[in-house]
Amino acid sequence: MLIAGAGLIGLACAVAAAERGLTVLLIGETRPGESSPAGAGLLAPSIEREEGHTGEFAIAARDRYPSFVDWLRHKTRVDVPVNRDGIIQLAVNEAGVRGLQRSMPDTARWLDARALAQLEPALGHGLGGVLHPVDGWTDNVRLLDALRTAAATYANLRIIHGRVTAVAFSRDAVVFTANGESFTGRHLVLAMGAWSSTIAGLPRAIPVEPVRGQMISFAASPVSRAVYGPTGYLVPRSDGRTLIGATAERVGFDPSVTPDGIARLRRTASEIIPAFSGAAHAHEWAGLRPMSADLQPILGPDPDEPRLLYATGHSRNGILMTPLTGDCIASLLAGDAPPASIAEFSIGRFDPKNPLAGTEPSTRR
């Protein structure tokens, strides 16, 4: 099996396939702006709500995390933090109170100003909030480290550092080119994130584009839960930092940060935590989300070339969907039914004449 892409999704697919006894060759490289280490690690399907199958898949992906990180811990001795203490949506004015109360799901709990301040004293300026009690966050950088460590333990999994540039399909095999060499396998999993559309020879246009998200961090952690404010979000880390995100900008493959983007993030930070308004932020960076035309992932075999499997286009939810995506793709490679239905995520849902038609980028993640 050939896997193109060595980020979280590619590694999860490779490790799950190797665990099933399949022989796997993974080719990928570290690129500026790759989304796997750049994200905030939010596990927030109750907030990023989608109707129907997509919402069900997102919830199943969130609920896969505890057993997945337990398995990784036993496999690698790398501890990947997963916080399931809930996420708060914060109201800072009366309009926000009305909006949150109107839209809160049955699984959430309303916090009045007093309850909010008791739960998170740093949010004492808020007028109220919605607690989504089983959402949370994971440390995506530690997750990436754990998956790389796990991959190195398999004799049937080989990793090559390089860039896949072209693919060709013969009667019996898939051949792709990387580093000027050709590699052959029975199947190819395309998991190159924002760069998925850059390979020559694919059977169709890939409706995925990079959308930049700038972020900053502070060297303090005044809250224990992730918090969504009116214009962005805040995520604490177990090492005492707080991440603030994120912008959404169509700027191609430009992973740079901008003064305007950083200023917007600082306003978001002070809106959620007023004490941050006079503090210097510690770091700033940007990542490139692999945004599909309809903001949903692209998973499963190509309708015209079933030896090609897609695992891309996760948009804002790549970290959330990493473990379950790996499970599903590995099951298909092994000839089994996936543990969750992915039929609605087929690339066949896009108009081949206009595959990039879709929505504007969202500022949520």
88-142 pLDDT, tens digit per residue, is 999 999 999 999 999 999 999 999 999 999 999 999 999 999 999 999 999 999 9
Dihedral of the CA atoms 167, 169, 174, 176 (nearest 10)?
-20
For the chain, residues classed under CATH 3.50.50.60 are 2-79+140-207+293-349
Alpha-carbon distances, residue 333 vs 2, 17, 242, 353 (angstroms): 11, 7, 39, 29
Average of per-residue pLDDT values in the chain: 94
Residue 127 contacts residue 91 (beta carbons within 8 Å) = yes
Averaged pLDDT for residues 306-335:
97
Averaged pLDDT for residues 194-209:
96
Q: Give the pLDDT score at 364.
A: 42
Residue 208 DSSP SS3: strand
213-235 pLDDT, tens digit per residue, is 999 999 999 999 999 999 999 99
> Does domain 82-136+210-291 match CATH 3.30.9.10?
yes
Residues 139, 235: Cα–Cα separation, whole Å: 10
For the chain, residues classed under CATH 3.30.9.10 are 82-136+210-291
Residues 232, 271: Cα–Cα separation, whole Å: 9
Residue 109 contacts residue 133 (beta carbons within 8 Å) = yes
Q: pTM for the complete prediction? A: 0.94
Q: Give the pLDDT score at 356.
A: 63
11-56 pLDDT, tens digit per residue, is 999 999 999 999 999 999 999 999 999 999 999 999 987 777 889 9
231-250 pLDDT, tens digit per residue, is 999 999 999 999 999 999 99
Residue 336 contacts residue 193 (beta carbons within 8 Å) = no
> Beta-carbon neighbour count of residue 238 at 10 Å?
12
> Does domain 2-79+140-207+293-349 match CATH 3.40.50.1370?
no
Rg (CA), the chain: 20
Q: Which amino acid makes up residue 297?
A: P
Dihedral of the CA atoms 218, 221, 227, 231 (nearest 10)?
-20
